[in-house]
């Protein structure tokens, strides 16, 4: 018997999953809600861009959830022994960097910074560095456009250097006190393996490649002189960052005796180099060349892979193409939609059609399911939170068209679902336009599992079968798979990811196949969606409407300032 | 002392107003809700296009309201004597034609047709003749495009010949039994003056010119051979219609002794030739060259006049340019928006944001009033019911753009109000583009009186002062003014409309002046509105988006069929 642990650090909580390496069955799982801030996020009422986390919550969550999951696994009739756990994998949100001292200790643990949120972890959705993101993008565009070509053409305020540069600007004391900065994904494995000291720390390829412009084509991180032009101190920091990164078949180290004792596990089992949740989620869902994994939640992350031995052009609009960021030996291809579930939540929670009770998701979904494609005459764009792929433009906004004097809430609700489906199709088409053929689509995440209407609409719109990943915790499963691979076949794990996935991944029985007559209508509707998409999204479009949403936002900004 | 009576036949009720001809003060008013059908409209649950009225309700309403208004006037401290009433004016909805026999008696009063809605009055909003409207438009386009040039380029399903041709097609027995067809506006004065017999009946210029393509340029009604091509029987009917029409300075006749006795009025006082409500409303609001009257309700009617001695080009998109349809000696210019109040009603009643109570007009208006122009980032098109002026296109639909994940109902509500204001500005601009300078705008109708936010937005958007007509019953007042003019100066009335208006019309004290900083923002927003307007509304527009709304409606139609 051999088991692997997957740890999945989300925005509000951490989950631990104990998985049988033989078949992926889940023996124990536990969740820990972070204690600091609101639902685990430190906010600032005077600055809605700020979102921080307490690194201490990560460590407490580790201990609580592993112990609980072990206890749960013991209660199964499987004769479970925690000493049969052979490896641990870790995924986290990102980019979520935290400043650490010379010993790799988070600054937030130092007394003088204990009340300073700038010394805490800068959560992925912290946008305080929005001005710095523009600055980085503009400089890189001029001096090193190749840096941006692999991350969609724009460096985001959510990413590593935007956050660090912003800290340097607003709180130099914290910046100066930081020996280096560490992604949460790198920090957790380092803690478990006693490798947090900067000279021992192993950095993951995935965070580095997708958020810090790390690429072997140009020798790793962005050039020192580019960073120095942003600020001399940022240039100096580069020397204290890293030149080497590791894929998820590499152990960050082995579990320390202290941790083994505390958790009741065998000492010296390997802990995998950390990675982002969506990427290990993709592994947990069975990602492989030709397979697209869609992780559908408030937003989506669409992940596929491509053999790194085969040529692959830059694919405009993809958030990232990084060698080894998902599976070793493969380019990780990441796309996504900035809002999916969040758009439905907006309609239900902000507009509250028919009041909040009658207008709930369930009621709207039920009524929307009774409508035929095209029946409402409505068409929407899924841009309420901008467009990540393929337009990479945060300053785009929503659009609904076709309202009459009789348009009903469920018609709008369905049009919003359809809009996200059209957005999903646009991503698939973009992959294929650049030669990345998608032959299979696997969905995971709460919405995929719980909303048959949405899945059927996705099938009908794309004309492709929608499969659903079996595990309800695909990210944690992916981490556990990485744990099993790092442990190796001899220990009861696997030598490679495809073998591990073949054994440990699975699909739900229910799948959604396109209904021909619906697909026919949606093909017509997609033509119209694409017209709107190009008209409002592309500067190059003949009719010149791409100014409309941006001018509105500029007017809004000037009125509000 | 001299008084005049104004009768205003609306969609659900008729109002009577007794007005002092000296100063327009209102001594008595009464309302009668039609009894037949739902709120006075005969509907057909199997055909939502059908809307008919019972002519008997019109006659009963006449008696009830005049008597009530007289009784009310008697109670004032003005020493009122009904024998001082010198004239009666009548306005009605239209085109609302009814089939009558050789004696001018409505077919609905004949026993054999008493349960047949086709023998009743075909209310303005009856759209059963939609196919016939297309047929008439296509034939006229080919053979007599000049007919359409004066009515916006499209013959509507709401109009005279569409309805009659439809009756001919679906119920030839009624058609054959009808000696002729009479507009409601012509029927009421005929009843009061005993001139309902077809050889005595005087037809109003306004209904004829705006709804039946009557124009002296081509000798009156459309050519017999054109009507005969639609159906030989329709050609024959033309001989039993009319060749002469009358403006509102003409008496239809004088009050019969029977009616005088019944109503307690002096016999033989003049009753004016009938006209449509919006046109007499314009008179009641003080319409004159350079003055635009906006009657704002569920939809709007925008009316101005232009001296018929001065050259005036066809103005594309205007619903009608008819010599003498409003004031004698002047072209009546009619424009309008297909939905204004109806759009706000849609949002409140169909979407029910925050539930129907909290999301009521009042609550939304209050919150919307707290927003600054441009603050929401939203922009809407006011096309939920198509666009009457300037695009004359019923197959256009609504659009809202700029939504984020935080867009609130009051922001949408305000964007909808702003959209109707932009639509209003587009109409004003169209008048002025063709040389009809608008120097004053007078608003009337429930929304104008009761919604200061809307009026302020209209002022801010158009950059013009918005005045409000003093009378709450501007249409009935206009009818009373016509009654005073037809009675003449000697009787205590007036020789001409401008004298009568100068004495009898007035504005409310409150007016809405544009706020410079708001206007500045709205100028920017209007530029964007016009971009969307042209992109989605004009076939000729470079970017080719005009197909989008129509394709959606075509798909909707094919799915629903």
Q: What is the per-residue pLDDT across A314-330, written as a single tens digit (0 to 9) for each?
A: 898 887 899 999 999 99
B372-388 pLDDT, tens digit each:
999 999 999 999 999 99
Instruction: Say if residues B74 and B141 touch (Cβ distance below 8 Å).
Output: no
- Residue A398 with chain B: CB contacts under 8 Å: 401-404, 407
Q: Residue B449 — very low, low, confident or very high, per pLDDT cuts 50/70/90?
A: confident
Please tell me the distance in Å from B349's CA to the nearest CA on chain A.
9
CA distance B444 to B470: 8
Looking at the complex, does the CB of residue A551 fall below 8 Å from at least one CB of chain B?
Answer: yes
CA distance A1 to A348: 47
Looking at the complex, does the CB of residue A372 fall below 8 Å from at least one CB of chain B?
Answer: yes
Which candidate in B337, B346, B379, B403 is best for mutational testing of the A interface (most A CBs within 10 A)?
Answer: B403
- Residue B535 with chain A: CB contacts under 8 Å: 535, 543, 545
pLDDT at A13 over 70: yes
A121-171 pLDDT, tens digit each:
999 999 999 999 999 999 999 999 999 987 878 899 999 999 999 999 999
- Residue B378 with chain A: CB contacts under 8 Å: 552
Please tell me the distance in Å from A354's CA to the nearest CA on chain B.
4
Interchain contact, B353 vs A358, CB within 8 Å: no
Interchain contact, A376 vs B556, CB within 8 Å: yes
In DSSP terms, which residues pair with A398 in a beta bridge?
B403
Looking at the complex, does the CB of residue B403 fall below 8 Å from at least one CB of chain A?
Answer: yes
Among residues B124, B152, B87, B501, which one has the least CA distance to residue B327?
Answer: B501
Looking at the complex, does the CB of residue B298 fall below 8 Å from at least one CB of chain A?
Answer: no
Please provide residue A4's backbone torsions phi and psi, each rounded to the nearest 5 degrees: -135, 150
Which candidate in B297, B343, B374 is best for mutational testing of the A interface (most A CBs within 10 A)?
Answer: B374
Q: Count other Cβ atoms within 10 Å, centred on residue B180.
A: 19
In DSSP terms, which residues pair with A440 in a beta bridge?
A291
Residue window 406-435, chain B: list those with CB within 8 Å of chain A: 406-409, 412
Among residues A478, A542, A519, which one has the least CA distance to residue A89?
Answer: A478
Average pLDDT over residues B421-439: 98
Looking at the complex, does the CB of residue B546 fall below 8 Å from at least one CB of chain A?
Answer: no
Interchain contact, A374 vs B521, CB within 8 Å: no
Looking at the complex, does the CB of residue A373 fall below 8 Å from at least one CB of chain B?
Answer: yes
pTM of the model: 0.92
Looking at the complex, does the CB of residue B528 fall below 8 Å from at least one CB of chain A?
Answer: yes
Within 8 A by CB and 6+ apart from B355, the residues are: A352, A354, A355, A356, A357, A358, A359
Interchain contact, A535 vs B531, CB within 8 Å: no
pLDDT at B317: 87
CB pairs under 8 A between A and B: 208
Average pLDDT over residues B144-172: 93
Please tell me the distance in Å from B76's CA to the nearest CA on chain A.
43
Please tell me the distance in Å from A138's CA to the nearest CA on chain B.
26
A416-445 pLDDT, tens digit each:
999 999 999 999 999 999 999 999 999 998
Among residues B114, B100, B104, B122, which one has the least CA distance to residue B47?
Answer: B122
A236-261 pLDDT, tens digit each:
999 999 999 999 999 999 999 999 99
Please tell me the distance in Å from A106's CA to the nearest CA on chain B.
34
- Residue A545 with chain B: CB contacts under 8 Å: 531-532, 535, 543, 545
Looking at the complex, does the CB of residue B81 fall below 8 Å from at least one CB of chain A?
Answer: no
Interchain contact, B551 vs A528, CB within 8 Å: yes
Interchain contact, A555 vs B399, CB within 8 Å: no
- Residue A352 with chain B: CB contacts under 8 Å: 353-355, 359, 409
Average pLDDT over residues B414-418: 98
Bond from prior residue into B251 cis (ω within 30 degrees of 0)? no
A75-80 contacts: CB < 8 A, separation 24 or more?
A76/A27, A76/A28, A78/A1, A78/A20, A78/A27, A79/A1, A80/A1, A80/A3, A80/A18, A80/A27, A80/A28
pLDDT at B394: 83
Minimum-distance CB partner of A556 among B375, B536, B555: B375
Q: At B401, which helix (H) or strand (E)?
A: strand B398-403
C-alpha distance from residue A468 to each of A326, B34, B167 (Å): 20, 60, 58
Give, to the nearest 10 degrees, the angle between helix A474-487 and helix A277-285.
Answer: 80
Residue length of chain B:
561
- Residue A403 with chain B: CB contacts under 8 Å: 346, 384, 397-400
Interchain contact, A354 vs B358, CB within 8 Å: no
Poorest-confidence range of A384-398, B80-94, B132-146, B403-417? A384-398
3-state secondary structure of A144: coil
Average pLDDT over residues A486-507: 98
pLDDT at A359: 67
Average pLDDT over residues B261-280: 97
CA distance A121 to A109: 11
The percentage of chain B sitting over the pLDDT mark of 70, rounded to a whole number, equals: 100
Q: Residue B358 — very low, low, confident or very high, per pLDDT cuts 50/70/90?
A: low
pLDDT at A358 over 80: no
């Amino acid at each position: 018997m051999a088991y692997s642990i997957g740890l999945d650090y989300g925005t509000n909580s951490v989950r631990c999953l104990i998985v049988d390496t033989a078949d992926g069955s889940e023996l124990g799982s536990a969740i820990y809600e972070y204690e600091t801030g609101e639902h685990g996020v430190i906010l600032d009422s005077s600055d809605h861009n700020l979102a921080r986390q307490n690194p201490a919550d990560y460590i407490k969550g580790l201990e609580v959830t592993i112990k609980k999951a072990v206890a749960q696994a013991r209660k199964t009739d499987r004769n479970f022994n925690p000493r049969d756990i052979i490896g641990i994998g870790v995924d986290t949100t990102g980019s979520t960097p935290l400043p650490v001292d010379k010993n790799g200790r988070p600054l937030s643990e130092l007394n003088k910074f204990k009340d300073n949120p700038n010394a805490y972890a800068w959560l992925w959705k912290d946008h305080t560095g929005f001005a710095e993101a523009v600055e980085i993008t503009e400089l890189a565009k001029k001096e090193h456009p190749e840096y941006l070509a692999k991350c969609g053409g724009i460096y985001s305020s959510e990413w590593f250097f935007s956050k660090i540069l912003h800290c340097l600007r607003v709180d130099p004391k914290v910046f100066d006190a930081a020996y280096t900065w560490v992604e949460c994904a790198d920090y957790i494995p380092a803690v478990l393996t006693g490798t947090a000291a900067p000279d021992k720390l192993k950095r993951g390829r995935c965070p580095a490649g997708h958020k810090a412009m790390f690429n072997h084509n140009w020798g790793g991180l962005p050039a020192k002189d580019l960073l120095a032009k942003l600020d001399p101190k940022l240039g100096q920091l580069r020397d204290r960052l890293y030149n080497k990164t590791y894929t998820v078949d590499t152990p960050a180290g082995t579990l320390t005796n202290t941790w083994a004792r505390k958790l009741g596990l065998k000492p010296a089992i390997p802990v995998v180099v950390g990675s982002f949740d969506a990427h290990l989620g993709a592994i947990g869902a069975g990602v492989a060349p030709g397979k697209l994994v869609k992780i559908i939640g408030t937003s989506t992350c669409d992940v596929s892979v491509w053999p790194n031995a085969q040529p692959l052009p830059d694919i405009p609009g993809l958030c990232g193409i990084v060698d080894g960021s998902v599976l070793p030996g493969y380019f990780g291809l990441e796309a996504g939609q900035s809002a999916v579930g969040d758009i439905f939540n907006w309609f239900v929670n902000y507009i509250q059609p028919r009041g909040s009770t009658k207008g709930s998701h369930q009621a709207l979904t039920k009524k929307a399911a009774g409508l035929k494609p095209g029946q409402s005459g409505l068409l929407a764009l899924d841009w309420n939170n901008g467009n990540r792929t393929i337009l990479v433009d945060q300053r785009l906004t929503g659009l609904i068209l076709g309202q009459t004097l009789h348009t009903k809430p469920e018609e709008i609700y369905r049009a919003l679902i359809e809009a996200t489906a059209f957005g999903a199709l646009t991503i698939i088409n973009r992959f294929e336009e650049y030669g990345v053929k998608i032959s299979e689509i696997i969905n995971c995440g709460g919405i995929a599992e719980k909303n048959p209407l949405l899945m059927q609409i996705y099938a009908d719109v794309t004309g492709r079968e929608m499969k659903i990943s079996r595990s309800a915790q695909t990210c944690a499963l992916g981490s556990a798979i990485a744990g099993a691979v790092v442990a190796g076949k001899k220990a009861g794990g696997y030598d490679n990811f495809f073998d591990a996935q073949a054994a440990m991944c699975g699909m739900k029985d229910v799948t959604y196949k396109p209904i021909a007559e619906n697909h026919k209508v949606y093909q017509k509707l997609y033509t119209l969606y694409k017209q709107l998409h190009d008209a409002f999204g592309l500067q190059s479009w003949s009719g010149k409407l791409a100014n409309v949403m941006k001018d509105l936002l500029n007017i809004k900004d000037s009125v509000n300032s």
